[in-house]
Each structure stands twice: as structure tokens, then as C-alpha cells.
Amino acid sequence: MKKVLVIGAGFSGAVIAHQLAQAGIASHVVDARSHLAGNCHTERDEQTGVMVHKYGPHIFHTDNERVWEFINRFGTFMPYVNRVKSTVGGAVYSLPINLHTINQFFGKTLAPAQARELLASLGDSSIVDPANFEEQALRFVGRDLYEAFFKGYTQKQWGLAPSTLPASILKRLPVRFNYDDNYFNHKYQGMSRDGYTSLVEGMLSHPLITVSLDTRLGRDAAAGYDHVFYSGPIDGWFDYSEGRLGYRTLDFEPIRAEGDYQGCAVMNYGEEGVPFTRIAEHKYFSPWETHEKTIAFKEYSRACGPDDIPYYPIRLVEEQAQLRRYIELARQEQKVSFVGRLGTYRYLDMDVTIAEALAASDAFLEHVRQGTPA
């Protein structure tokens, strides 16, 4: 019988342990934290009774049929559409930029084709192939919208000038010429009725899986196992031999109040003068529940120190070169698979995390069937 260790009980580790157990392979799952579900952890706030997304708001969205079918085995998903607002210049606007935003911002009543023409005229057509975030914004929405909604927010979020960031970050946000204010374009979108931690509990509740919380393990632990799936930080596995990969961390400042606080789930703050990036009011993530009290988190972004929780990988040129060296070291490791957002140092949405964990389990099980080394 193979002995498998899974480090990390977020979606990456939980999906892998579950898939292995379904195929008859036992595993031991450990997590350094005192709870399951990694950064997707949800828990009820004792004072308000509201289900809180402890490490920031998480909305499930995917086009991947296998992932949607898989995740629905572990709980009930409630219909949920992520709608985000932004406060800038003393007014509240709708995001992502859509026809309502454009008409409000410019004080007009444009039809879709007229709005498209307006943005085309405002966009800087001299930028043919946008090389960074700022150029991407100037090319497609023009300076005024860029400065209102993206420049200050991005500076706060990343601690860097948008001209130094890749254009790909902005490409995640659509611009729409209708009144559709759904933040995401995916076919499936929803919120787990009982939070995300209950989904992970469901994945790990299997007689072939044992779990130890409050347990941090690294390279030394590998010796006792036939295979290790590691979803912790790739640089940590190698004792930071190539230096620390850069991350942004977040601080959440809770605000509790009677009734409502801001009247919506997520309010972004585009201006640099406001020190936080956004406020998330958690009861709006469970609109099917009623609560007399409310809890909101003000979210502040800053550079990640050695004792902070890593959230967003920075991945600028310097980190890319470091990452390549770590990937080379990881290739040389026998019997260790590096998985998940920390193990691969990439920003991964939950659905991509699950898809990759399913693929990693498939590959491992195929090796086991063939009797070849994984």
C-alpha cells in the first residue's frame, strides 16, 4: 500500500486526498493552520451570526463542467451574481465598466454603439500593443476612466505603479457596452450555502484519509512517504535558497454594526487617498439568510513579510527569474508534486485550483496503475 502525504488542506490538498481515497489509496493530510480550507476558509462570526470569508471574499465561478459537477457533490450551491461598486470622486459607480458606468461617469444617456464610439475616441490609438497595465487601460478606456477606477486602486493593491505591472492583470476585467454588471462571464456562478469549509470537510471525510491540523511539515517529512503532494510555498520547501518570492499580503479590519453597513457585498475605493482598497460586507454573500447585525471587512494591501500570510504572487521580472530556479529545483525532487497557488506561485481561482488538483490526481493514479514512478 502506498504511503502518501498531502501538505495543505486547502482545495488543492483536499481534492487530491479525496480522489486518491476514491481510488483506494490512503493519505495523511496536514495543515499548519487550525482549520481546513486554506484561504477559502469560512466561519460564522460569533457576534453577528454571519458567515464570514476569513481571508477575503470568495465567489465560485467556472466554465469547467467537470469542476462544477465535482464541487456540487459536496454541498448545495445557491445562485449568486457578483456585483461590485466603486466609490470615486464622491460618487458611486457600477463595475466592471459597463454602459451604466459610462453614462453616469460622463453624464450621458448613450446607447451601446454610441458608448463604444466614445471609448474608441478616448482610447489612445497610438498604443498598438499595450506593454503594461497602464498602456492597456489608456488604449481601451482612455485616461479619465483609467485614473478614476484603475490607477489609484492598482497602486494600492500592488504597491507599484501600473506602468510596471503586466497588462494581463487588467485583462481579467471586462468592459461592457450594455447594462450587464455581473463581475464574471462564466457559465456557472454560485455561493456554497454552508460556506467553503464544509465542502472541504466533505472531501476529506473518508475512512482512507487522516487529517492533522496545527501541523507544519516540510522537506524533512518526505522521507517517510512514497509520495508527497505539497501545496505550501515552493520557496519555503527549499528553505528560501534562491531568496523569497514576492507576495502581497492583506490586513482585514472588521466593522460590526446593526442592520446594514454599506448595502452591497463589495465596494471598491478607486482613489489612492483612501488607504484601503475595498470593503466587503459578508452577509451579502449569503443573500438567502437574514441577519439583524452585520460585519464588514476593510481590506488593506501591503508587502508580505516573512511572518505574514502570502495572498497575491507579484510575479514581476525578478520573481519570474527566481521562480524558474525554484521550478528547476522542483523538477529534481523525486516523488514530490508541487500543486496549488503557493506550490506553483500563480494566482489561481478556485475552479482552476480544483481542475489542476483533479489533473494531478489523475496523473498520479495513472502512474500507480502502470507501476511507473510518479
Other CB atoms within a 10 A radius of the CB of residue 128 amount to: 8
Instruction: State the cell numbers at 138.
Output: 489608456
Distances (CA, A) of 351 to 61, 65, 146, 257, 289: 7, 10, 29, 33, 25
- Contacts with ligand UDP: how many residues (CB under 6 A)? 13
Contact map string, positions 84 to 123, toward ligand FAD, x by CB under 6 A: ----------------------------------------
Min. distance of Cβ 210 from ligand UDP in angstroms? 34
User: Could you say whether residue 232 binds ligand FAD (CB under 6 A)?
Assistant: yes
Min. distance of Cβ 366 from ligand UDP in angstroms? 33
217 binds, among ligand FAD, ligand UDP, none (CB under 5 to 8 A by kind): ligand FAD
Other CB atoms within a 10 A radius of the CB of residue 253 amount to: 11
Q: Which is nearer to ligand UDP, 173 or 316 (CB)?
A: 173
What is the DSSP annotation of 258-293? ES-SSSSSEEEE--TTSS-SEEEEGGGG-TTS--SE
Contact map string, positions 67 to 106, toward ligand UDP, x by CB under 6 A: -------------------x--------x-----------
User: Could you say whether residue 30 binds ligand FAD (CB under 6 A)?
Assistant: yes
Instruction: Report the amino acid identity of residue 137.
Output: A
* Among the listed residues 21, 27, 31, 96, the single contact to ligand FAD using CB under 6 A: 31
Restricting to residues 263-302, which ones interact with ligand UDP according to CB under 6 A?
268, 270
For residues 36 and 213, give the distance between their C-alpha atoms in angstroms, rounded to a whole number: 8
**Contact window for ligand UDP (CB under 6 A) among 113-121, 169-177, 253-261, 328-336:** 169-177
Contact map string, positions 308 to 337, toward ligand FAD, x by CB under 6 A: ---xx-------------------------
Min. distance of Cβ 169 from ligand UDP in angstroms? 5
295 and 50 in contact (C-beta within 8 Å)? yes
The interaxial angle of helices 11-22 and 197-204, nearest 10 deg, is 30
* Letter string b/e over residues 315-350, b meaning 16 or more CB atoms within 10 A of that residue's CB: beeebeebbeebeeebeeeeebbbbbbbbbbeebbb
DSSP 27: E
Q: 191: which strand partners?
A: 78
103 and 115 in contact (C-beta within 8 Å)? yes
349 has catalytic annotation: yes
Distance in Å from the first CA to the final CA of the chain: 15
Instruction: State the cell numbers at 317.
Output: 521580472
Q: Which is nearer to ligand FAD, 131 or 303 (CB)?
A: 303
Peptide bond into 174 cis (omega under 30): no
211 binds, among ligand FAD, ligand UDP, none (CB under 5 to 8 A by kind): none
Catalytic positions: 172, 176, 248, 278, 299, 347, 349
Residues near ligand FAD (CB under 6 A) = 7-13, 30-33, 38-40, 56-60, 216-218, 231-232, 311-312, 340-342, 348-351, 353
Residues near ligand UDP (CB under 6 A) = 86, 95, 149-150, 153-154, 157, 169-170, 172-173, 268, 270
